[in-house]
Structure 1
Amino acid sequence: MPKSSTDRPTAPETVWLTAGTHTGPAPQAALREHLRELKNSERIQDFLETENTSTPDGHVFEARWLVDDDITVRARLVTDGREHVDTERRWTLVAEAERPWDLSWPSPATMFWPEKSDFSWDRDAAAGLRLQDINPLPKEDAALRRLLKDIARHSWSINVVVHEAMTPDHEGRLPLSRLLPPGLRHRVVEHRATPEQFHAVNWALGDLGTSVPRGGAVILSGTPARIGYDEQDFRVRSVFLDGSEPTELLDSILRFAALPRPLPDDAVAALTALREEWRLLTMEEELAHARAMAASYAEALDAMTKSRDLYREATELAHAALADMAEYRDAASAVRAARGGVKHPLTKSLQRVTDSLLSRRVPRGDALQEARASEERARESAG
């Protein structure tokens, strides 16, 4: 398991991703209807819906659209189908463009989910907190500590903790999301601590190695921390909640979003699925895919043919070697049989030849013996 941010792959600059929850039954109905409307209005080129085979009642939605007229974006939203507390269902969304992501482009979340719905879909997956509104921190200390620890460990969003120096009026209760570029509106969770929660929230943030200035804000690092994150660089000393634009805080959020982002395990799987399981192909892509498959089959067939020829050649060589071994074995057996007195067929043939030669030499031997006997008799007579 990766132990630090450097052990994990980072999100490519072309990728936009988030994870959330949807309250209410059948989120796929809302998704399907909204995607049809966008296709009919030509805001998206096309979409495709399939079942999520990894979980019962889960669905996969793919959509493709253009940004800046000629840059294609491919996005994949997955609902897991499993019901959580209060019938919430988790969803993940990953989009990838042909060029590095521009935060001025439309949020991919709005290309799937309708802005106005009977049920809420724009909630962070880690704790069910709202993505486009203010989230007051819990009053109870243990719940506060548990919440901050959970979002720091499990949230895919950018979590910003803002401490109110004094109770704000209506203008001060407007969420940050309205001031963020479209590409960040569904990736930021804004937490608010009341004036009297200053010590309690810093006690809880101490577990995370950070703190919030009085009347200021801090951006949490996440787990693992983004590469290049320095807690001091993302603490804002003063945030005026009077309806004015908090320029310093917005700038800090933009700088934080630009840091290389180590991907959580679930995000790695989601990005891999977008790239490797994509099914919403254009005609040109289908043709290219068919050609690639044909070329792959041709290569496989060629390899099989070469393998067959090599196998045939190897078989013939093996048979020849076996024949040579058989001949050698017969010859060796014949030699052993000859040495051991066993009448091997070859030995018998050799014996017949030998006997024939010896039979021809016997008369010559008898005559020589007779001559020697005569010579001996002559010597005796002379003596």
Structure 2
Amino acid sequence: MSNSATDHATAPQTLWAARGRHTGPAPEDVVRRTLRRHEESGDIDAFAEPATAEDPTRRVFEARWRADGTVTVRARLTLVPLQGRPQGHEWWLVAEAERPWDEAWPSPATLFWPEDAADEDENGSWDHHPTVAGLRLRQANALPEDDKEMRRRLREAARQAWCVHVVVHEAMTPDERGRLPLARLLPPGLRHRVVEHRAAPQQLRGVNWALKDLGVEVPRGGAVLLPPDPAPEAYDGRRHSVRSVFLDGSEPADLITALRHFAALPRPLPQDAAEALRDLRENWTLLTVQEELERQRRLVAMYADALEAMTKSRDLYKQAAEQALEALAAYRDVPPPAVPQQRPASRTPGALQQLTRTFERLKLTATGRQQPESATDTAPDGTPGGTAPNGTPGGTARENDDNPGTSKEKETDNRKGTREDTDDGSS
């Protein structure tokens, strides 16, 4: 069994909670009759039966009263039909007061359910344990004779944290008064939240073997409070055990002290109890005129805050849209930026250009060396040396006629080649 209370909320001291099972076919009729009778007698101020559209099979009852005439108490009872059974309903009841709960206040269970067995429906009763068969809230439940069955029952009972489970050992066989349940001697605020288990005198060894897994032990002729699941952090099995319980019809003072100390502990709230408490706080419908007025004022304030937030959000969106439009208009008026002109890449790199010039010199040089051979030829008019009639060297004039677009640099190279050829011929 896990006794960790880390993931559970702490039960408020203003809360009274109980859970059970009704075995009759129509528990809602019993609740209506009981509430109507208490309203007529003035025990409660008013009651209501709100609709539950989400689950038509569920019944919800609300009641409001004033404890001690001044402390307002709001309570909510929920009925849910048991699955797989022709009749029978599980119920849970949560009540919250304006200040910490006083154990002397009336039990909320007796304001929704009839307190006397004579007033109950003859076809069923409301005080059965919700999960463990055979257990009753208002009776002394004898433990099974079989040790394994006893162990299973106590382990299952301890898992249910809505109730406080007390194991009482009979030191000797009690008389008729001693066999009466101790719950009737408890204060009203504790009466219907305690489940009493009775161990016969010969069952002491078996019951302590069954309680070994829970880490507690019942004294001979005494009692012990079982740790719930999850258990309060300050729970101490030795402090919450009673050495002697006199089963003679007298008030069990030591047991009541242990129960009071246990009820005052900051104990973890079961998950389903937390949901029931949240349902009571959020879905409460039985409001007074003043409560309804305050509720409407809270709604108006909430709607005003929501409207103001929406207005601010609208203004922010409007401002952002205007800024976006202004930026778009400014962008359209600005001319496009000038694209920088890129210099065309040189068609011929420097090294390749120098190489081309070298090849041109070699070509001109070779052409100049061929000119002396043409100079030995006789001109058409019989003049030697290949001189034209106007005195211009024949090779040069021919070269100039064939290459009218030769550059100045090319003519200079031709003259150099002609001199070199002339010097060679004269030598």
Could you tell me the TM-score, scaled by structure 2's length?
0.74
Partners of 1:238 and 1:294 in 2: CA distance: 60
Structure 1 residue 8 displacement after superposition: 2.1
Call closer, same or farther: CA 1:253–1:54 in 2, change over 3 Å.
farther
Q: Deviations over 1:241-278 (max 9, x none)?
A: 22233322222222222222211111111111111111
Q: Which of 276, 297, 318 is equivalent to 1:312?
A: 318
Call closer, same or farther: CA 1:298–1:239 in 2, change over 3 Å.
closer
2:155 paired residue number: 149
Structure 1 residue 85 displacement after superposition: 5.8
Q: Does the 8 Å contact 2:81/2:87 carry over to 1?
A: no
Structure 1 residue 292 displacement after superposition: 1.7
1:127 paired residue number: 132
Higher helix share: 1
1:93 paired residue number: 93
Q: Which of 205, 208, 212 is equivalent to 1:206?
A: 212
Partners of 1:240 and 1:255 in 2: CA distance: 20
1:78 paired residue number: 78
Q: Does 1:258 align with 2:264?
A: yes
Structure 1 residue 3 displacement after superposition: 6.6
Call closer, same or farther: CA 1:178–1:98 in 2, change over 3 Å.
same
1:269 match: secondary structure:
helix
1:358 paired residue number: none
Q: Does the 8 Å contact 1:138/1:144 carry over to 2?
A: yes
Q: Deviations over 1:301-336 (max 9, x none)?
A: 2222222222222111101101122233x332xx34
1:295 paired residue number: 301
Call closer, same or farther: CA 1:84–1:107 in 2, change over 3 Å.
farther
1:94 match: secondary structure:
strand
Higher strand share: 1
Call closer, same or farther: CA 1:3–1:103 in 2, change over 3 Å.
closer
**Unaligned ranges ≥5, structure 1:** 341-383
Structure 1 residue 86 displacement after superposition: 7.5
1:19 paired residue number: 19
Task: Give the number of the structure whose alpha-carbon radius of gyration is greater.
Answer: 2
Q: Does 1:41 align with 2:41?
A: yes
Partners of 2:90 and 2:206 in 1: CA distance: 30
Q: Deviations over 1:32-80 (max 9, x none)?
A: 1211221222211111112445645111111100011111000111112
Read off the aligned partner of 2:305 and give its amino acid letter: E
1:166 match: secondary structure:
coil
Call closer, same or farther: CA 1:85–1:239 in 2, change over 3 Å.
farther
1:117 paired residue number: 120
Structure 1 residue 211 displacement after superposition: 1.5
Read off the aligned partner of 1:191 and give its amino acid letter: H
Structure 1 residue 239 displacement after superposition: 1.9
**Unaligned ranges ≥5, structure 2:** 343-427
1:343 paired residue number: none
- Residue identity (%): 55
Q: Does the 8 Å contact 1:18/1:94 carry over to 2?
A: yes
Structure 1 residue 230 displacement after superposition: 0.8
2:288 paired residue number: 282
Q: Does 1:215 align with 2:218?
A: no
Q: Does the 8 Å contact 1:124/1:157 carry over to 2?
A: no
Structure 1 residue 141 displacement after superposition: 2.1
Read off the aligned partner of 1:136 and give its amino acid letter: A
2:332 match: secondary structure:
helix
Partners of 2:154 and 2:51 in 1: CA distance: 34
Call closer, same or farther: CA 1:72–1:302 in 2, change over 3 Å.
same
Q: Deviations over 1:76-113 (max 9, x none)?
A: 11112234667332111110101111000000111111
* Greater Cα shift, 278-287 or 303-312: 303-312
Partners of 2:25 and 2:209 in 1: CA distance: 39
2:105 match: secondary structure:
coil
1:362 paired residue number: none
Read off the aligned partner of 2:207 and give its amino acid letter: V
Q: Does the 8 Å contact 1:176/1:190 carry over to 2?
A: yes
Call closer, same or farther: CA 1:125–1:53 in 2, change over 3 Å.
farther
1:107 paired residue number: 107
Could you tell me the TM-score, scaled by structure 1's length?
0.82
Partners of 2:274 and 2:317 in 1: CA distance: 43
Read off the aligned partner of 1:148 and give its amino acid letter: L
Structure 1 residue 165 displacement after superposition: 1.6
Partners of 1:86 and 1:222 in 2: CA distance: 31
2:33 match: secondary structure:
helix
1:364 paired residue number: none
1:4 paired residue number: 4
2:243 paired residue number: 237
Structure 1 residue 236 displacement after superposition: 1.6
Partners of 1:70 and 1:142 in 2: CA distance: 50
Partners of 1:231 and 1:93 in 2: CA distance: 28
Read off the aligned partner of 2:330 and give its amino acid letter: D
Partners of 1:279 and 1:44 in 2: CA distance: 16
5 Å matches for 1:266-277?
266-277=272-283
1:227 match: secondary structure:
coil
